[in-house]
Structures are given as structure tokens and as C-alpha cells.
Structure 1
Amino acid sequence: MGETRILKAAEAIVGGGRALLSRRLFERLRHLFWAGLITLATYAVLLFEPVDQFLWLIQSRIADRHPSGDVVFVGSDEALNDPTAPERRYKVAAALDELDRLGVGKVFLDVTFETSDNPAADARLARAIADLGPRITLVDQIVAGTGSERILRKTSPDIASPAGRVVSDQTDRNFFGFAWEIHYGYEVNGSLVRSLGAAIGGVSEPSRKKFSVDYGFASQEIPFLPLTDLNSGNPRATRPPVDITGKTVVFGHTNIVPGTQQPIPGRVNAPASVIDIYAGETLKAGNTRYLRATTILSIFALLLIAALLACRTRKRRWVAYAAIFLTIPALFVASSKLGTRLDLSYALGFLGFYAAFRWRARWKRRVEMVNSETGLPKLRALESRLIRDKTGSGHVVIAKIQNYERVLKTLRSDDKGSYVLKLVDRLRAADPNLAIYSDGHHLGWHVASDDTNAVTDHLEGLRAIFAAPVQVGGFSVDVGITFGVAAIDDDPTVRLAAAIAAAEETSEAHNPIAVAETGSQSDLLWDISLRARIDEAMEAGEIYCVYQPKIDLASKSIAGVEALVRWHDPARGFISPQHFIQQCEKAGRMEHLTRYVLQSACSAGQLLHFRGRVISMAVNISATLLGDMRIAGIVRNVLQATRFDPSYLTLEITETARISDHTVAASILEELRSLGVKISMDDFGVGAASFEAFYELPFDELKIDRLFVANMAKDPKARAIVSSIAAMGREARITVVAEGLENPQDIVLFEEAGCQQVQGFAFSRPLSLSDLLEYQDFTLNRPAANMV
């Protein structure tokens, strides 16, 4: 039980792993990887930085947060530190005195004063600063000079008294002029000094670190007090409209003063002091959170990976994609309200790059799945449709266009697609909306009916429609079409392949409609492994030859033997020759098997001749090999290697109905006869092409099919057919062999009919080579020993 559970668990893990590592999943993960890599490259060069800043501007406008109200900006519309107007320093001093009288908490004087030529004015300002004591802090300003130069502006020590200092770096801006991040401290003359924004926010210790500035506070809600309202000499304003008791005041210039304007979200010319006020409000609210591009990319990459691994169907993936994409605006709005800054542009770029890769892959598949000549989808599209729709019933039908390549050679390139489309129109005779898929000489479609007989009856009707030729390019072209059918009872992909294989086994004369067998998965896997093991079986000697004697009726002796191939598999025992030969054809190993049998048979024949048994050796050659001159080279090489006399070798051509081109086949057979071998026509009498092949091809021997031989004694028609074939052979001066003789009493009938040779179990079953070597002079009264 424990081993069983472990085995099942292992199978589950392997099965899950195979599903996980499917080709499409690998493709998606590969696209995700490249999208991430490209996005990181864009992040390295800050390619999407402008997009992020645009998004931050939008965030600042939709945030709609309220400032604390504890920071008040006192602004002057005139340059208070103008050295040419030192009298304005009296106004500053009066305003500071008024702030002191009103009980201000802190004052940051964001205006620098140099010593003027009016000592009295300087002294008055210095006294006002001194009266505020530790509540006032002077602001040193770092401003841009010519080129890349940075200038430090400071209030003169004669005026500053012992007041504390902070610094405002007005050059700490990005290339668009925005101060999205500010340092907690700046280095001044080798010392680290607190920044004005950090000081307003209550940070006591300077640091080189940065914090993001939140511009989501409503600017109109930041308390603003004009300097004129603090002038104690104004009788109309004994108390300013803004309560400043215990509050922090930033004293500076408004945007009317030249050289003090700075852009912020929503305003292109805000006072420079306002940026530090926003920085202070940011620190007070704790809105310094900043999720950078790498963090956001990691989040969305993990979301995509999870979606790809969890969603196996296309519908679920699209739902997951939509959810991930909608996460961006949701995250954008939520972060705006929470005061968190995000680098969302790279997440958008990442998803965009991934979408571009996926679109390109789908576009390529669409192009690959469409036949360029006809515009019809290919069979791969039918396979994808069956899998996508989870089709588990009906039939797959594959139509094979006979002589397709020959027809295309005769047509102009413009007419090739038209030829196929005319055939498609006929296939749609019963259903104009039938979805038909095209790939080479195959046309395929899905039939919803589960009744195999009804499907084959319908296909018979379609064949009748194709009896008439089609008109293409001004020519009348005959059409030959056959069908392969496979019921969908398990994996649609397997059944589609089965329908194609069935179509390839059809012929117009004998088997125009072939229905693929429905076997178990283990049988299908066995057939696949069978094909893979063919070469291995030949090397291991599991595939071998046995030899059945052919008896000369005149001399009552062995005239020759026929080499028959056998396969004894250690796992499944003896395998039917018909079955594994079919698998050889499907695996494209027919030439290799033929060479192997020829080599074995000719070596055996040479050994028989060496032992004094000079008899002929017959070897079967599939008619499918008569389309290429390579078979002549194979025979020539084997004869040279074995030194077997070619005059004693007979090549029996099987399934002559499968010969597609008699002209080509005739030239190949003539080449074989030039080597000195004889050509025999096997299974004569069955198949519509037998007499045509007999007439057009150069045969030295006819073998009467066992159908007539077996019925010779009991059916007069069979006797008549055998007699007529024997007579035809005598007239044509070729040898006639009756194969399949099982009853020794029927020998006299074949002698009377005029057959020269007979072959069958009546004399001997196929013998191994060792038994054949021991086989002595044959008499009709003594059966063969040691039969295989």
C-alpha cells in the first residue's frame, strides 16, 4: 500500500510538472522574462521618468488632502533684501516684532540679508531677530549661479546675531524643475545642516537621505498672510486675519518678486518657500512613503506569474489579465489618497511590453495557422479549436486530395488556391457555414454527429459530388478525393492525428473512406514505441526471416523459397507482420526494413547455393517504394555485398494498387531487371489495378491470390479464374505460381489448370534457415519436418 501511494504521488507530481512545463506556459514565462528585462533597461536610463512625473502631477491634483494649518506663510510682494532699498528692513523688523507680540511659535526667515550701507536699518533688523531668540531660525539659500555653479546666500553675522540656521537648496530639482524629493540635510562648508523642509516638519537631526514631497495638500488651504497685514502701523488691522499664536511661520517672498518663482503641481510660479512648506507638511502627515519602480515591478511580475500558473484556460487568463491591469488605476487612486508615491510608469511599461510579446506571438500563430494560398485556416487551427472548446464528441474528418502535387504542377500559381477553394465549395454543399481547414493535400473539419455510419454515408454522398471535374484557369481538372474519419473519444489531438493517418491509408479504388480504429491509450503508446523500436529489434535479431518453399509441379522439387519477415518481441511475443510493416511505413523505416530483409535473404540464398541447393530466393517489395530510384540502389548494394547471383533473386511486388505513377514504376522495375533479378506480381487477381499493372509493368512472374487458390476445389468460378490466369501466363511467357495451397488433394487441379509452381501449407510452413538447410529431397508424400 505504501509503495502504491508513493507511486501515485510520484505520478501526480510528474503529471503536474508536465502540465506546468507545457510549451505555451514556457512561452508566456519567457515573454514575461523579456518584458521584465526590457523594463529594467528602461528604468536604468530613466526612460519613463517623464511619465511618472506626469502621473505624480495627476496624483497631486486628485489627492485633496488638508494641510495641518500649523504652518503659515508670510509673504512680501517686494524684495525685502534689496541692498538699494535698506529701508525695507524696517518693515521686516516691524513684522517680526508683531509676530513676537502675537505669540508666534517658530519663525523661519527665508530671506537672506547682507550688510547694507544703512547701519541703522541693519541694527533695527538685528534687534528684532534677537528679540525672538530661539524661536527664529535663519534660512541660508543655495541658488544656481552661472553654468553649473551653486551660490550660497547667507544672512550677515552682524544681522543674524546668535540665531540658528537651516538651509534651502533651490537647486535640488529634477530636469523639469520640480522638487519631488528633498534631503533631510545639505552639506554647507563641510558641515551637514538641516534643510528648511525637515526643520518645518520637526526633524531635529540632519541626514543625507531624501524624502518625497507630497503635493496633495490643497494649496489654497495653506494659511497665507501678506506682510502688509502684519504692519502694526496699519490701523485697520490691529490683529491679522490668520491666527498665528503658537504656529510656525515661514517668512519669505511671494512669486511677484523676481527670481523666487518655483514650479509645483498646479502652479508654474509658486513662491520658493512654498516647496519647503509642502515638505514640512509631508513630514508632519507622515506621507513620505515611496514605492519605487523595482518594488512595483516585482509585485506585478509576481501577480503575472501567479496568474499564468493558476489559470490554465484562456478565459481565466484574460480575467486575470484584466484584474491585474485594473489594479493599476485602483492602486493609483488609493496611493493618491494615502499620500504614497508610486513609480507606476514602469509597471505600465512592463505590462505593455508583455502584451506586445503576447500579441506578436498570437499574430505569428494566426499567420502560421492560415494557408497563404487559400486563406483557409490550417489543421493546426482545427487542433487548437478542438482543444480550446474541449470537444469530446463527434468526428474529425480529413479529406485527402489525390494527385494533389501533380495537379499543382500543371496550374499557374494564381490558380492553385482557386483549385482548393473550388473543392471546399463542394464540401460545403450540405452546410455552407462548415468551417474547413486546409493543409497541403488535406482538408479537415469537425462533425458533431456521433453516428459513424451516418458520417460515412454523408462522405459517400460527397464523393459522388466530386465525380465531375472542376474548371480552373480555363482547364477541366479531374478530382480524386478520399476521407479519413476518427471518432473523438479521448484526446482531440490524438484523434486528429488518427484521422490524418487513416486518410493517408485510403485509395480511390479500394478504400476511399477509412475509419480510424479506436484503441486504448496503452495500445496507441505501444504502437508509437513499436515504431521507435524497429531499428533496435533488427539489431537484436528480434526481426528475422523464415523461408517458405515454392514447389515446381513438373519436377516435384523445390524451385525456390520466399523470404517472409517475422518479429518476436520479448514483451508481446510474435507481432503480426501486417501490423509492424504498417508501423514501419508510418515511421518512414520501410526502406531500412527492406534492406535488412534483402540482406538476410540473399545471405541465406548464398549459403544454400554453397551447400549445393541452387534454388531461387523471393523477397517482397512494397509498391510504395516504386516511386523512387533508391530501391534499385538498395538491391544493387545488397547483391554486391552478399555476392548472391541476381538471376536467382525474385522481387515480389506487393499491393500494386498503391502504385501512384505506373510510368515511374516501370522505369524503376526496368532498372531492377537490368541488374539480372526477376520481377513477380504478388496477389494477382484482387484489386482494380491488377490487370492495369500487369499490362503496363514488366513482370516475369504472377502469383495467383490465395482467395482463388483456397476455393479451387469447391467453386467452379475459382477454377475458371485460376485456369484463365495460368493460360494468360503461358501466352505472356511468364511463370504462374499458386500461393496459399493448404490441401494436398488439390495439387492435381493446379496441374490440370497449367500452373507451374505452388506454395502453401500443403507442402511446408515457413522454415527457419537451419531447418531449410536440413530439408532433404522433397516428395509429395512426405511433409516437411521441423516446421516453423
Structure 2
Amino acid sequence: MGDQRISNLAGPIVTHGRLLFRGGLIERLRHVLWAGLISLAMYAVFLFQPIDQFLWLVQSRAADRSPTGDVVFVASDEALNDPDVPEKRYEVAAALDELDRRGVGKVFLDVSFAESGDSNADKRLARAIADLGPRITLVNRIVEGTGVDEFLRTTSPAIGGTAPHVVSDQTDRNWLGFAWELHYAYEVNGKQVRSFGAAIAGVEAKPKATFSVDYGFALDRIPVLPLATLSKSSSEGATIPVEITGKTIVVGHTGRVPGSQQAMPRKIDAAASYVDIYAGESLKAGYTGNLRGPMVLSLFASLLLIALLVCRPRKHRWIAYSGIALLAPVLLFASAKIGVRVELSYALGFLVVYAAFRSRMRWKRRVEMVNPDTGLPKLRALEARLVRDSIGNGHIVIAKIQNYERVLKTLRADDKGSYVLKLVDRLRAADPNLAVYSEGHSLGWHVASDETDAVVEHLEGLRAIFAAPVQVGGFSVDVGITFGVASIEGDPPARLAAAVAAAEETSEAHNPIAIAETGSETDLLWDISLRARIDEAMEAGEIYCVYQPKIDLASKSMVGVEALVRWHDPARGFISPLHFIQQCEKAGRMEHLTRYVLQSACSAGQLLHFRGRTISMSVNISATLLGDMRVVGLVRNVLQATRFDPQYLTLEITETARISDHNVASSILQELRSIGVRIAMDDFGVGAASYEAFYELPFDEIKIDRLFITNIAKDPKARAIVSSIAAMGREARITVVAEGLENPQDIALLEHVGCQQVQGFAFSRPLSLSNLLEYQDFTSDRAIANMV
């Protein structure tokens, strides 16, 4: 009971596991892994950096936010520091004095002054700088020189005096010339000097640390005041258009002054001072966040993995794919609004690479899933469709074209596809739109009906249609077709395989339509491992023999027994002999099982003889073993090992219709008879080859099939068949045994028609060896039945 509960629990778990980690999912997960590794490799070599910078330009446009207004740019369209034009220094000095008079907060002089030929002009500027005291800061710029050299532009100490300095590094740019990331401080002559942008924001220097510059502030909203306006107002007392009291002032050149241009997202020829103004605004607002490529890549990879694990139907996966793809622009614009820069290119590259892998696989699968001869999709396309559309009801039908390979040998290459297509046309007689799949000698399709009987009835009608030959290449070709049917029960790939297996076991004469077995996942898995379990069961004694007595009707005494094999599994209980014997035949283990049963039976027979019960022992031998002389050696070796007298051993040949070569079988049986054993034909009267086998093979005994014995009293035809077989046996001088006798009242009838021996439940069920040793002979007025 506990084992059954475990089986009931294990079934859904195994099924769910197989559905979760089916081949398609593993393939997609593998593509995710490869796409991630390729994207990380691209990140390592900065391959997608230009794409990121383009996306940052988009972010800058999308943000469109206003600056704080605390920073005012006092700009000049003319060069203020030309030594040959010293009079400009008077203008700068006047502007600085006016700034001082109006009570500005801080002043950054972003113009480097060298000494000129006019000492008075230099002194005047120096005095204006000195008057501002600690409120003024001089800006030094690191610029590119000739070749790879860099040099520092700085104001002469004679002019700058003791005013503090900050640094703006114009070489701290990317390969497109944009300053997306700046340092808090730079090293100048072995000393750490605060950067211009950090100084504007009032942030202390952080050695080697960097921050992102946010260009989302609207350029036209940064207050700008012409320097000429400011210098004139100092002498004329005029008002100025911009409020500067308490503000931070940056004095510099506009982009019109040669050497002062700097590329920015919002302006290609902007003034160099704007980069540092934006840097200061970014630090003031706190918009310096940066989502790095690996982090964004991990986010998208995780979302894709979750989508693959959760979304099983293809439609749901495509919805998830669309959502993940739409997340990219949403993330781009949302991060722009909150001032976070996103390195999105590697995540986009990851999605593109994954899509390329999937597209390539779909293209490859489309090519692989089409039969080149017919143009029809293959059976694997049917499997993919069942999984993709989550089809969980109906039936899968596989039609097996009989003698397909032989027909193909006789047809021209151009006619092979035509032959199959003509068969498909007949399959579509009832439904012209039926989707048929072709692979080798199999044709498959899905039937929506859940009624197995209705499907079988339809297939019977199709078989009638195929009775007429088809015309191919000017020839008339007979068609033989059989069907395997499997109901869909939650796992379409497994049921498709079951339908194919059922079709392979069909035959036109005996089993034209085969229904695949149904069962739980654990039952199917147990059956798959059944063949390996057989060897273990024999070693453990779980497979054993029971013995059914054979009674002589004249003396009413037991003259022999038939050894019957049984299997009792500790977990599954009794296993049907028909089931595991078929598995042995498929696995090529029939010889091993026969040796095991023969040795057990002969050992039991030897023990019976030792106890004084000199009776014969009958053992079933599969007809499939009568194609190889090794079975003779097998019997001889067992007899020698058990020392059982061969004249008391009877080998019952089962399923004689399966003997492929009667001449070979006859030679093997003659060799067995030469050892001294007797040969019996089992189940005589059923099967197409019974009389032929009886005539051509050397039998000493025939056993009339239970079909006729069971009906002997109530069916005159059955009684006539038994009577004729008994008469035939007498004429051929061989023993006739009636098997399957269940009604003791039928004994008199069997005696009357001339049967010599009988076995069945009317006398005894199969007995264990210990019970057989205690078994008593029958008398005419007493019958012991059902002794177990």
C-alpha cells in the first residue's frame, strides 16, 4: 500500500519534471547561457560602447529637466587672455569688480592668463582677483599638446596670486570626444587637485573616484550673462538681466573662441566650461547613478530565464519575449527621468544574440522537419506542434506502410515521393485539410476525438480505401497499411512514441490496428527497466516455477506435470507471464529465461523421482529459439547438470506460427529427440500454421487448445474439432492432451472422443513444489480441485 502511495506521488512529479525540463527548454536555456557569455565577452572589449553612447544621447534628450539656476555662466565671444591684446584684461578686471560689488557667492575664472607686455593691465587684473579673496578660484586646464603629450594651462602666479586652483581635464573624454564620466580629483605635479565640476558642486575631492555627468539639463535654461554687459554696468551703473547675487559664477570663453570648443550631447561646439557646469549640476542634483552593463545584462537574463521556466506554451513565451523587449525602451526613458545612466547595449546585444540562436535553430528545425522526398513535415514536427499548442486530448495515429522499403527499391527516385503523396491523398478522403506528417514508412496525424472506438472505426474505413492499388510511374502498386493509435495523456512526445511503437507491432493479417498501452508515468518507466529487472528477479528467486498436473484418463493418475513460470515482485506484486516473457523476447533474454526455467523444472523432476514419483516434466520452449542449434546445447547441459532422465522431459513448443524456417526447426527438434526428450506442440488448433507445423515437424505429443476444451459440452463444433484432433493423434501414434479443463463433468466427453491425458483446474491449479510432493492421485469418484 505504501509503495502504491509513493507511486501515485512520484507519477505527477516525474511528469512535471519531464515537462519542465523537456528538450526544448534545455535547448533554450543553453541559448540563454551562450548569449550571456557572448555579451559578457563583448562587454570586456567595450564592443558596444558606441551604441551605449548613442543611447545616452537619447537619454539626454528625453530627460529635459531644468538646472538649479545657482550657476551662472559669464561668457565672452572674444579671447580674454591674448597677451598681444592686454586691454581685454581691464575688461575682465572690471567684470570681477562688478561681481564683487553685487555680492556673488563664488567665482570660477575659467580663463588662464599668462603675463603680457602691459604690466599695468596684469596688475589691474591681479588686484581684481585679490579683491575677491577666497570667493574666487582659478581653473587650470589639462589639454592635449602635440602627439600624445599633455600640458597644463594655468594662470601666472604674478596675476593669480594666492587664489586656489581647480583642474578641468579636457583629455578625460571618450573616443567620440564626450565627457560622460569625470573624476572628483586629478593628480597634478604629484598632488591631488579637486576637479572643476566637484568644486562647483562644493564636493570634496575623492582620489581616483569618478562620477557620471548628466546632460539631461536643458542647455538654454542655464543662465548666461555676456561679460561685456557686466563690465559696462560697473561704469554706467546699469542693471543686468540675470540675478547673480549669491550665485556661483563661471567666467569663461564661449565656443566661438578658438580652442574653447567642447562636444556635448546637446551642442557639438559648446563652450568647454559647460561640461564642468553640467558636472556641477549633476553632483548638486545627485544624478550621478550608473547602471553598468553586467547589472543590466543580469536583469534581462534573469527575466528571460523566469519567462522560459514559467511560460510553457509558445504563445505565452512570445508574450513574455515582447514584454522583455519593451522593457528596454521603458528602462531607457524611466532612468533618464530619474537621472540614472544605463548601459543598455549589452542587454540588447544579449537579446539579439539569443534571438539569433533561436532563429537559427527554428530555421534548422524547419529544414530538418521537412521530408525532402515528399515535402511533408516529419513526425518530429507533429511532436513540436502538440507541445507548442499544448494539445492534451484526442489521439495520435501512426500509419505504417507495409513493404515500404521493398516498394521503394522498385520505383524510380522521382516516383518515391509521388507514391507516399498518393497514400496521403487517400488518408485525406474524409478531411481534405488533414495535416499529415511523414517519416520513413510512417505517416502520422492528430485526431481530435477522445473516443477510441470511434477512431478505430474510422481507421477500419480507411483500410477499406487502401484495398485498391495505386498507380505510380506507370505501375500498379498494392498498398498494405496498418495503424498504431495512442491517446494523448498529458505528455504528447511520449504518446507519439507509444503510437509509433504500436504501429511497429502491427501486421496486416493478425493485428492491423494496435492500441498503445496507457498507464502512469511511473508504470511506463518501470516497464522500460523491466528487462534489467528480470535478471535480478531470477537471482533473488522472485521468478520461480509452479507445476500443473497432467492426468491420465485411463488410470486417473498423475503421469506428468507442466512447469509454468511465475514472477512475484515485492513492489508490484504478480507480473503477468505474457508481459514479461514478451519483454524477454524483445530484449534477447529468452534463452536465459528458458535455461533458468528448464534448470528449475529438471531439478524439481529429479527430486520427484527421488521421492518415488516417476512422472514426466513438461517445459515450454518459445518457437523463436528454434532458429539456432544452441538450444540443443542448452537442453543437454541442463540435463547433465541436474542428472534428470531425458526420457521424462517433454519440451512444449509454443506459438509454432512464429517458426520462420521449418527445415531448420525440424533439424533442431530431431537433434533434441536424439537426446531422448519428447517434443509436444502446444495450443494446437489455433494459429495459421498449426497443421503445417504438425505435418512438417517431429512431434510426439499435441495439446488441444483450451478454446475447444472449454466449449466441448455446449458447442457441437468444438466437440467435433476435439474428436477429429484425437482421432488424428491416434492415427499418427502420438499422445493427445486436452488442456484447460475446468468442468469435471466434461471428463467423460474427453474419454469418449479419445483424449489420453488432460490438465486443468478441474483436477488442480498449478502447485508449488512442496504442494506437488504431497499431491495424491485421483480416483474416478473423487477429484481434488483448486489445490494451491
Shorter-normalised TM range: 0.7 to 0.9
Aligned to 2:299: 299
Q: Does 1:643 align with 2:640?
A: yes
Identity %: 71
Number of equivalent positions: 773
Q: 3-state SS of the aligned residue for 1:211? A: strand
Aligned-residue RMSD, C-alpha: 4.7
The normalised TM-score by structure 1 is 0.82
The one of 668, 672, 677 aligned to 1:676:
672
| CA–CA distance in structure 1, aligned partners of residues 345 and 234 of structure 2 | 53
1:150-299 matches, within 5 Å, as 150-205=150-205, 207-230=207-230, 232=232, 242-299=242-299
Q: Does 1:346 align with 2:346?
A: yes
Q: 3-state SS of the aligned residue for 1:138? A: strand
- Listed as ranges, the gaps of 5+ residues in structure 1 are none
Aligned to 2:445: 445
Q: 3-state SS of the aligned residue for 1:643? A: helix
| CA–CA distance in structure 2, aligned partners of residues 16 and 601 of structure 1 | 42
Q: Does 1:326 align with 2:326?
A: yes
Q: Is the 8 A contact 1:547 1:768 kept in 2?
A: yes
| CA–CA distance in structure 2, aligned partners of residues 777 and 783 of structure 1 | 9
Distance change in 2, residues 1:332/1:87 (3 Å): same
Q: Which moved more, 1:323-332 or 1:223-232?
A: 223-232
Q: Which moved more, 1:253-262 or 1:513-522?
A: 513-522
Distance change in 2, residues 1:713/1:648 (3 Å): same
Aligned to 1:52: 52
Letter in 1 for 2:423: L
Q: Which moved more, 1:412-421 or 1:56-65?
A: 412-421
1:12-51 matches, within 5 Å, as 18=17, 22-23=21-22, 28-51=28-51
Letter in 2 for 1:277: I
Distance change in 2, residues 1:341/1:20 (3 Å): farther
Q: Is the 8 A contact 1:646 1:676 kept in 2?
A: no
Aligned to 2:335: 335
Q: Is the 8 A contact 1:665 1:697 kept in 2?
A: no
Q: Which moved more, 1:613-622 or 1:51-60?
A: 613-622
Q: 3-state SS of the aligned residue for 1:424? A: helix
Letter in 2 for 1:740: E
Q: Is the 8 A contact 1:20 1:309 kept in 2?
A: no
Structure 1 position 464, deviation (Å): 0.8
Q: 3-state SS of the aligned residue for 1:397? A: strand
| CA–CA distance in structure 2, aligned partners of residues 550 and 9 of structure 1 | 43
Q: Does 1:483 align with 2:483?
A: yes
| CA–CA distance in structure 1, aligned partners of residues 451 and 280 of structure 2 | 81
Q: Which moved more, 1:477-486 or 1:709-718?
A: 709-718
| CA–CA distance in structure 2, aligned partners of residues 459 and 20 of structure 1 | 31
| CA–CA distance in structure 2, aligned partners of residues 497 and 708 of structure 1 | 38
Distance change in 2, residues 1:633/1:781 (3 Å): farther
Structure 1 position 151, deviation (Å): 1.5
Distance change in 2, residues 1:669/1:490 (3 Å): same
Q: Does 1:397 align with 2:397?
A: yes
| CA–CA distance in structure 1, aligned partners of residues 368 and 696 of structure 2 | 43
Structure 1 position 159, deviation (Å): 1.0
Structure 1, residues 731-767: CA drift from partner, whole Å, max 9, x if none?
8x6846343273432454443xxx7876556776655
| CA–CA distance in structure 2, aligned partners of residues 594 and 421 of structure 1 | 46
Distance change in 2, residues 1:741/1:50 (3 Å): closer
| CA–CA distance in structure 2, aligned partners of residues 109 and 567 of structure 1 | 101
Q: Which moved more, 1:521-530 or 1:150-159?
A: 521-530
Q: Is the 8 A contact 2:546 2:769 kept in 1?
A: yes
Letter in 1 for 2:340: T
Q: 3-state SS of the aligned residue for 2:158? A: helix
Q: 3-state SS of the aligned residue for 1:593? A: helix
Distance change in 2, residues 1:233/1:291 (3 Å): closer
Q: 3-state SS of the aligned residue for 1:425? A: helix
Aligned to 1:744: 747
1:665-744 matches, within 5 Å, as 665-666=661-662, 669=665, 672-673=668-669, 675-676=671-672, 681-691=681-691, 702-711=702-711, 717-718=717-718, 720-722=720-722, 725=725, 735=734, 737-740=736-739, 742=741, 743-744=746-747
Aligned to 1:81: 81
Aligned to 1:436: 436
| CA–CA distance in structure 2, aligned partners of residues 120 and 9 of structure 1 | 103
Letter in 1 for 2:198: A
Q: 3-state SS of the aligned residue for 1:137? A: strand
Letter in 2 for 1:676: L
1:499-514 matches, within 5 Å, as 499-500=499-500, 502-514=502-514
Q: Is the 8 A contact 1:669 1:679 kept in 2?
A: no
Structure 1, residues 611-668: CA drift from partner, whole Å, max 9, x if none?
9989875443445667xx5x644553453355378887665443345x4xx7x54465
Aligned to 1:469: 469
Q: Which moved more, 1:322-331 or 1:411-420?
A: 411-420
Structure 1 position 266, deviation (Å): 3.7
Letter in 1 for 2:747: P
| CA–CA distance in structure 2, aligned partners of residues 9 and 718 of structure 1 | 46
Q: 3-state SS of the aligned residue for 1:74? A: strand
Q: Which moved more, 1:459-468 or 1:406-415?
A: 406-415
Q: Is the 8 A contact 1:606 1:642 kept in 2?
A: no
Distance change in 2, residues 1:525/1:105 (3 Å): closer
Q: Is the 8 A contact 1:704 1:736 kept in 2?
A: no
Q: Does 1:138 align with 2:138?
A: yes
Q: Which moved more, 1:452-461 or 1:718-727?
A: 718-727
Structure 1 position 448, deviation (Å): 2.8
Aligned to 2:93: 93
- Listed as ranges, the gaps of 5+ residues in structure 2 are none
Distance change in 2, residues 1:621/1:427 (3 Å): farther
Structure 1, residues 348-405: CA drift from partner, whole Å, max 9, x if none?
2233344445555656666666556555445555455455555555444343444455
Q: Is the 8 A contact 1:469 1:477 kept in 2?
A: yes
| CA–CA distance in structure 2, aligned partners of residues 746 and 26 of structure 1 | 68
The normalised TM-score by structure 2 is 0.82
Letter in 2 for 1:639: R
Structure 1 position 430, deviation (Å): 0.8
